[in-house]
Structure 1
């Protein structure tokens, strides 16, 4: 993909083809959120008030975990202003929706709306972008991780999905808290602390065993579901100098009933084209994008996307490639030769790699490349 365009450029081409109603908020989405909230309350009461077989508790945990995740998807939509427009109501409803995942609305808008969306797949400014080979020598943890065999790394990466959203949220809080205006900083802290006060209070009310089924296991399940989507959003796409959603984003396909339950969260390219539009209308946007730029648009079943993630490393090399420095294997990205039905690699020449890396410690990279 040679010619890159900004999301605004694409939006300008598509907008005239869309009915005016798609640019208005859709408050009816809140009915789905209310349903999930009632399910969560019912689950808590059932676990807390009744002595049941642990297997029954586990089934309830699964329902709670899927509800936590779905509430997070709705919270994501609410905080983009596509459900209600009044700032105080948007933040209030967003806080409720993100309560199970313990993320405050001010942090989310700073991290996701203002940083990730504006700088998608920018190697320095996107807080969600995966690292480049240049960063390998500067991060001891990365150096250690990439000494491990690919299979071990892939297993660890997929296992960590059960924790990754919560851990990354904490990292984003630490990264952005000082950037808030001092008069707003206190409210950001409050939005972080209040959910955890609630969950810890619930621990004392229910007791440790029931709390594990009511919150801890559902949180792990919710993390896995949310990260199952997020891990496919951009990680098979290249790093791009221009924020081009058709180049740097991937839409995954899931059964229609899953899209209904998850508020169309699978339509990720469409979301980056129109972040201020309700996901209710993303199927219509997708139809126009595929008609106008069929050779640029990336989509695949979520299962195949996850398999491709397992088979490829998460370290960028030369922008549009992924590298396993331990083996010296280089893989293509979407739009640059990646074929998910036949994932192959080429062997990197260490000397060529070192010449293309700017400001990189040659001794450290050389050690990683040789350590097979």
Structure 2
């Protein structure tokens, strides 16, 4: 691939072609959030107050789950400062939007805005990057897991989407809470604990059966939707020492009505170029990128990206290759041989099974890549 450039390099070349209003906050996005909030409240009241067969709660539970996910997408936008700019109002509205996913605004801005966006796809600094094989081989448990056949791992990985965001959010809390100023840590704890207290209180109030449909099933659905996007954002891309969004990010395409419901969250390369811009204007950014650097831009249908994730292993062998530890096959990443329509070993297999086993037995030994 050609020389990498920082997101600032691209942004400086695109900004003159964008309207000035594109860089202003768009508070009208809150109307969509209000609609989702009212839908959630209405469904919760209906399940809580109306006695009927649990089967009748299923469609309401699904609607709540989809609304939870969409509120999360809006919360992501709010906490980037693209909806409102006043810090206290931004954090308050972001907390409300992220309430179903039980993620506090201070933690999210530290984890996502200040770490993930600054160090995207850096194998050590990005908290959301997938591990390299070097890191995996230090753990005998992970080595055993990754020696399972790829289809089995892919199946369990797909199932894990239903809880990945929640688990990762708790892990990020444990990782970053100690980095906050001691005076601010109580607020960070409060923002994490209060949503869970709300949902546990709901369990005590309505009982386990209704709670299952009011919170647990919707949370699993929301996790699947959110993680389906997040998993395709970067996991098919190479890791990069330079934070180049055209190299390390993927935009997925979905029907227009889905973009409306999900606040244009599919435009992920565009978001990494202009995280402080409302996603309302990302279609304009996309057109400009495709005019100026069509050979660099990565775009894939959402379903094709999910299939590609299923068919490719997750550990990075090097910055631009994915390795299947069960057989040593190495696959290319986007820009380095990966083609959505024909997923196969894009790079020549440079490791055989005996070398993989030797890596597991001798994790400290260095091997040529």
Change (3 A) 1:90 1:189: same
Q: Show the counterpart of 2:65.
A: 65
CA contact (8 A) 1:136 1:365 kept: no
Matched, 1:347 2:349: yes
CA distance in 2 between counterparts of 1:297 and 1:333 reads 13
Change (3 A) 1:264 1:74: same
Secondary structure of the corresponding residue to residue 205 of structure 2: helix
CA distance in 1 between counterparts of 2:189 and 2:255 reads 39
CA contact (8 A) 1:121 1:243 kept: yes
Instruction: Write the deviation string for residues 36-89 of structure 1: whole angstroms up to 9, x where unpaired.
Output: 000010011000000123222010010000000000000000000000000000
**Correspondences of 1:122-141 after superposition (within 5 Å):** 122-141=122-141
Q: Show the counterpart of 1:363.
A: 362
**Correspondences of 1:23-42 after superposition (within 5 Å):** 23-42=23-42
- Give structure 2 stretches of 5+ with no counterpart: none
Q: Show the counterpart of 2:167.
A: 167
Q: Show the counterpart of 2:144.
A: 144
Q: Show the counterpart of 1:308.
A: 308
CA contact (8 A) 2:254 2:302 kept: yes
Runs of 4+ in 1 over 6 A off after TM superposition: 351-354
Q: Please report how far the alpha carbon of residue 141 of structure 1 lies from its aligned counterpart in structure 2 after TM superposition.
A: 3.4
Change (3 A) 1:142 1:293: same
Q: Show the counterpart of 1:369.
A: none
Q: Show the counterpart of 2:97.
A: 97
> What number of residue pairs does the alignment pair up?
362
Identify which range, 115-124 or 336-345, moves more after superposition.
336-345
Q: Show the counterpart of 1:5.
A: 5
Q: Please report how far the alpha carbon of residue 351 of structure 1 lies from its aligned counterpart in structure 2 after TM superposition.
A: 10
Q: Show the counterpart of 2:107.
A: 107
CA distance in 2 between counterparts of 1:155 and 1:223 reads 16
CA distance in 1 between counterparts of 2:295 and 2:361 reads 38
**Correspondences of 1:1-372 after superposition (within 5 Å):** 1-345=1-345, 346-350=348-352, 363-364=362-363
Q: Please report how far the alpha carbon of residue 211 of structure 1 lies from its aligned counterpart in structure 2 after TM superposition.
A: 0.4
- Give structure 1 stretches of 5+ with no counterpart: 367-372
CA contact (8 A) 2:327 2:352 kept: no
Instruction: Write the deviation string for residues 245-273 of structure 1: whole angstroms up to 9, x where unpaired.
Output: 00000000000000000000000000000
CA distance in 1 between counterparts of 2:275 and 2:295 reads 22
CA distance in 2 between counterparts of 1:105 and 1:120 reads 20
Q: Please report how far the alpha carbon of residue 140 of structure 1 lies from its aligned counterpart in structure 2 after TM superposition.
A: 3.3
CA contact (8 A) 1:121 1:240 kept: yes
Q: Please report how far the alpha carbon of residue 353 of structure 1 lies from its aligned counterpart in structure 2 after TM superposition.
A: 7.4
Q: Please report how far the alpha carbon of residue 343 of structure 1 lies from its aligned counterpart in structure 2 after TM superposition.
A: 1.3
CA distance in 1 between counterparts of 2:364 and 2:336 reads 25
CA contact (8 A) 2:264 2:282 kept: yes
Secondary structure of the corresponding residue to residue 331 of structure 2: strand
Change (3 A) 1:237 1:352: farther
CA contact (8 A) 2:250 2:269 kept: yes
CA distance in 2 between counterparts of 1:227 and 1:63 reads 18
CA contact (8 A) 2:140 2:360 kept: no
Instruction: Write the deviation string for residues 195-237 of structure 1: whole angstroms up to 9, x where unpaired.
Output: 0000011011111100000000000000000001000000000
Q: Please report how far the alpha carbon of residue 365 of structure 1 lies from its aligned counterpart in structure 2 after TM superposition.
A: 8.7
Secondary structure of the corresponding residue to residue 168 of structure 1: helix
CA distance in 2 between counterparts of 1:266 and 1:294 reads 18
Secondary structure of the corresponding residue to residue 338 of structure 2: coil
CA contact (8 A) 2:138 2:363 kept: no
Secondary structure of the corresponding residue to residue 300 of structure 2: strand
Q: Please report how far the alpha carbon of residue 149 of structure 1 lies from its aligned counterpart in structure 2 after TM superposition.
A: 1.1
Q: Please report how far the alpha carbon of residue 182 of structure 1 lies from its aligned counterpart in structure 2 after TM superposition.
A: 0.2
Instruction: Write the deviation string for residues 165-219 of structure 1: whole angstroms up to 9, x where unpaired.
Output: 0000000001001000000000000000000000011011111100000000000
TM-score (norm. length: structure 2): 0.95
CA contact (8 A) 1:235 1:314 kept: yes
Secondary structure of the corresponding residue to residue 322 of structure 1: strand
Secondary structure of the corresponding residue to residue 162 of structure 1: coil
Change (3 A) 1:12 1:353: farther
Secondary structure of the corresponding residue to residue 11 of structure 2: helix
